[in-house]
Structure 1
Amino acid sequence: MKTRAVRLYGKNDLRLEEFELPEIKDDEILVQVVSDSICMSSYKAAIQGPDHKRVPKDIDKNPIIIGHEFAGNIVKVGTKWKDQFKEGTKFAQQPALNYKGSMASPGYSYKYFGGDATYMIIPQEVMELGCLLNYKGEAYYEASLAEPMSCIIGAFHANFHTKMGSYVHHMGIVEGGKMALLAATGPMGLGAIEYIINCDRRPSLLVVTDIDEKRIAKAKAIFSKEKAAERGVELIFVNTKDIEDVPEYLMRLSGGTGFDDVYAYAPVRSVVEQADKILGRDGCLNFFAGPTDTKFSGELNYYNVHYASTHVIGTTGGNTDDLKECLKMTEAGLINPAVMVTHIGGLDSAAEATLNLPKLPGGKKLIYTNIDMELTAIDEFEEKGKTDPLFAELDEIVKRNNGLWCAEAEKYLLNAKSK
């Protein structure tokens, strides 16, 4: 079977190509990819090429397919897995494999296994690890976004707290406590707000900061104070751009106690230093944003580490249980991962979007791999709709959905492009 895929040959060398897939083995599964959302990690792999820790050294001769936030349909199942997986059903994928100590992952390491493809082959280790999941939801994009959402969920599970006189670590955020998400109106921050307001363990106070008023306005349009209050959460958005003493201002919002759980969503020194300064007693700072600078650092108040039991952790990725939690909540309608999506495109736009990801505004770029379409911001649908009926209809659909991508829009797009 032929597939069409974006392959990495070297640093900044991504190519959209058509090539033949081999016949699957008895312990492999052939799938059709429908959607793949582009991750900043894919950008890092693309610019670093063989210097990336997950990318093989010989990609100039054996290129790999990029993309790891994907979902689609199961086409053919090897005999070993026929009791667990059925042809014609949907699937979701946990890309963090950790198989026998190997760092190999889809989208970084495999010749025939990556998300920016029409068809691909899932190797046996994925099923052995329980990382291929049956998906029963309606929309493919929701399963694609389960991977970044699982990273968010994992970060909330990873925080920990202690009690004076005890060395036991109590995992998770403080229920009913005070939480701050700093630099958090980007795609992952919006996903974090969506999850923490709707999960079963919520703070009583949630303060979200950024310095971009346009992004804050979008976040406010998605998350109303009234809706958050119905869930027992006081939600406050703060533009810190012109605030002279940000930590002092945020401390006042906390009532002077500081925050139990603080998340830094940008690898910026001022942000992580603000995060440290607003921690309350036994406060946990989670450095969520992954820096590209191997020497990135900031000041930390070690007096508070010693006497106020403040502590710092970092999380990268989520595990399979986190992804399952996301899928379960999504299928039940408890969370909407679409809050992260700002752009839609076809496979022909994936390479350029990946290589230019830091320069592209907005949130998640969602690629539908079996269509060709210029990467287009949802906010641009109305203007494009003046000359293109496809975008006119998509604009009407998303406007009925609070300006967000949705299952109806996905279905319409895929049907329209298949004609």
Structure 2
Amino acid sequence: MGYLAAQYEGNHKLELVEKELPPLKDHDVLIKVAAATICGTDFHIIEGKFPAEPPVVIGHEFAGYVEAVGSAVESVQPGDLVTIEPHLFCGLCKYCRIGKEHLCLKKKGYGVRLDGGFAEYCVIPEKTVYKVPPGISPEVAALTENVGCCIHGIERANIRQGDHVAILGGGFVGILMAELSRMSGASRVFIVEPNDYRRKVAADRGFETLNSLSVDVVQAIQEATAGLGVDVAIEAAGRIDTAKQTLQLVGRGGTILFFGVVPPEWSMEIAPNDIFARELTLLGSSINPYSHHKSIEKLAGLNLEPLITHHFALTNIADALDAARTGNCFKVALHPNDK
């Protein structure tokens, strides 16, 4: 059976190609993709800044309807709306065996090293397929992996009742981290974002916003917190300047979470004495270990539908990527089976 897919060919080339579906193995699920959302990682792959293995169909945030199942599949059946936890772990390395499989030494990802969801169809093993509860649209279901990553980050940051939280970056991830911070008990959540459109959306959702182009963010945070600084600072923009600024925003005993993907060629200086004297905690957060199920349970309460701002057919993927590059959007969804 032939199907259309957006395949990364290497050398910054993404092409629409016709592919043939492989035969279903006993534990495989054939999915007719209903929605796939564009992530920053997809751009990094096309730009040659992320270790993909071309030729590969990209797209790791996706959901669709089960078309067929292998003979041993038990958890889903044809017609079910499902979402994908897009990672395969070896199960044999130290990290897999101590409950940290997201740090697996031989991890593979759908849409990175295995064919993913920017396609009309895909074949995925049952163990990474999750049934979506009633009332969730395919577009929102496609965001489950992204939400799971954010849940892992929030759990790492250990936000507590009454905490003050500053989030640097007000894109989709920044808004989502703000929502989860509030759910975790934060009494004040500041979103630092220079883009007027994104800042307005954040303000409309009840968050305190700061325009980094027109105000001194450090001074504003100090004034808002009686000179104490925030309890948790989250870098969600993937920029070295905002990563550096987290150290200026967080107060004594505070936590800094590096969540945005700062390009690996950038680095920053940190004074060990500052970490020691203020007893700071610096954390990273990588993908979404054991949080995909939690993410599905949270989807209905996060009001994500308004953050899916653009919709395109797969044949218009170039236009979709252009839209996602602009600042006047949040999530861009592809609908591979819409013509």
Considering the TM-score relative to the shorter chain, is it more than 0.5? yes
Q: One-letter code of the match for 2:108?
A: A
Shift, 1:219, TM fit: 2.1
Q: Which residue of 2 aligns with 1:9?
A: 9
Shift, 1:215, TM fit: 2.1
Give the distance between the partners of 1:296 and 1:43, measured in 2 at CA: 18
Q: Which residue of 2 aligns with 1:156?
A: 154
Instruction: Note if 1:328 corresponds to 2:297.
Output: yes
Instruction: Note if 1:104 corresponds to 2:108.
Output: yes
Q: Is the 8 A contact 1:35 1:367 kept in 2?
A: yes
Q: Which residue of 2 aligns with 1:119?
A: 121
Shift, 1:299, TM fit: 3.7
C-alpha RMSD of the superposition = 2.1
Which of 348, 352, 357 does residue 315 from structure 2 map onto?
348
Give the distance between the partners of 1:349 and 1:282, measured in 2 at CA: 49
Which of 199, 207, 220 does residue 249 from structure 1 map onto?
220
Q: One-letter code of the match for 1:206?
A: V
Q: One-letter code of the match for 2:64?
A: G
Give the distance between the partners of 1:214 and 1:337, measured in 2 at CA: 17
Give the distance between the partners of 1:284 and 1:29, measured in 2 at CA: 41
Give the distance between the partners of 1:192 and 1:306, measured in 2 at CA: 27
Shift, 1:23, TM fit: 2.3
* 1:130-161 alpha-carbon deviations (Å, 9 max, x no partner): 421111233111110111111111110112xx
Runs of 4+ displaced beyond 6 Å: none
Shift, 1:351, TM fit: 4.5
Q: One-letter code of the match for 2:250?
A: L
Q: Is the 8 A contact 1:341 1:363 kept in 2?
A: yes
Flag structure 2 segments of 5+ consecutive residues without an equivalent: 92-104
Q: Which residue of 1 aligns with 2:280?
A: 310
SS of the counterpart of 1:36? strand
Q: Which residue of 1 aligns with 2:94?
A: none
Shift, 1:360, TM fit: 6.2
Q: Which residue of 1 aligns with 2:66?
A: 74
Q: Is the 8 A contact 1:3 1:120 kept in 2?
A: no
Q: Is the 8 A contact 1:154 1:315 kept in 2?
A: yes
SS of the counterpart of 2:72? helix
TM-score by structure 1 length?
A: 0.73
Give the distance between the partners of 1:273 and 1:343, measured in 2 at CA: 32
Bigger radius of gyration among the two: 1
Q: Which residue of 2 aligns with 1:276?
A: 247
Q: Which residue of 1 aligns with 2:230?
A: 259
CA gap of 1:301–1:204, structure 2 versus 1, over 3 A, is: farther
Shift, 1:38, TM fit: 0.7
Shift, 1:335, TM fit: 1.4
Which of 131, 135, 160 does residue 134 from structure 1 map onto?
131
Which of 236, 243, 262 does residue 208 from structure 2 map onto?
236
Q: One-letter code of the match for 1:315?
A: S
CA gap of 1:263–1:19, structure 2 versus 1, over 3 A, is: same
Give the distance between the partners of 1:267 and 1:27, measured in 2 at CA: 37
* 1:37-62 alpha-carbon deviations (Å, 9 max, x no partner): 011101111221xx743x23xx3xxx
Which of 360, 365, 370 does residue 337 from structure 2 map onto?
370
SS of the counterpart of 2:186? coil
Q: Which residue of 1 aligns with 2:189?
A: 206
CA gap of 1:255–1:339, structure 2 versus 1, over 3 A, is: farther
Matches within 5 A, 1:12-31: 12-31=12-31
Q: Which residue of 2 aligns with 1:145?
A: 143
Q: Is the 8 A contact 2:235 2:258 kept in 1?
A: yes
Q: One-letter code of the match for 1:42?
A: D
CA gap of 1:351–1:24, structure 2 versus 1, over 3 A, is: farther
* 1:240-293 alpha-carbon deviations (Å, 9 max, x no partner): 3122x431221121122221111012233332222101211211111111022x
* 1:199-249 alpha-carbon deviations (Å, 9 max, x no partner): 3x211121111122232122223x13xxxxxxxxxx421223122x43122
SS of the counterpart of 1:367? strand
Shift, 1:368, TM fit: 0.9
Q: Which residue of 2 aligns with 1:94?
A: 85
Shift, 1:302, TM fit: 3.0
Query: What percent of counterpart residues are identical?
Result: 23
Give the distance between the partners of 1:76 and 1:215, measured in 2 at CA: 40
Q: Is the 8 A contact 1:188 1:340 kept in 2?
A: no
Structure with the higher strand share, 1 or 2: 2
* 1:337-360 alpha-carbon deviations (Å, 9 max, x no partner): 224322111111225534785456
Shift, 1:17, TM fit: 2.0
Instruction: Note if 1:175 corresponds to 2:161.
Output: yes
SS of the counterpart of 2:338? coil
Instruction: Note if 1:286 corresponds to 2:273.
Output: no
Give the distance between the partners of 2:238 and 2:287, measured in 1 at CA: 16
Q: Is the 8 A contact 1:37 1:144 kept in 2?
A: yes
Give the distance between the partners of 2:30 and 2:197, measured in 1 at CA: 43
Give the distance between the partners of 1:15 and 1:270, measured in 2 at CA: 34
Flag structure 1 segments of 5+ consecutive residues without an equivalent: 160-171, 225-234, 373-419
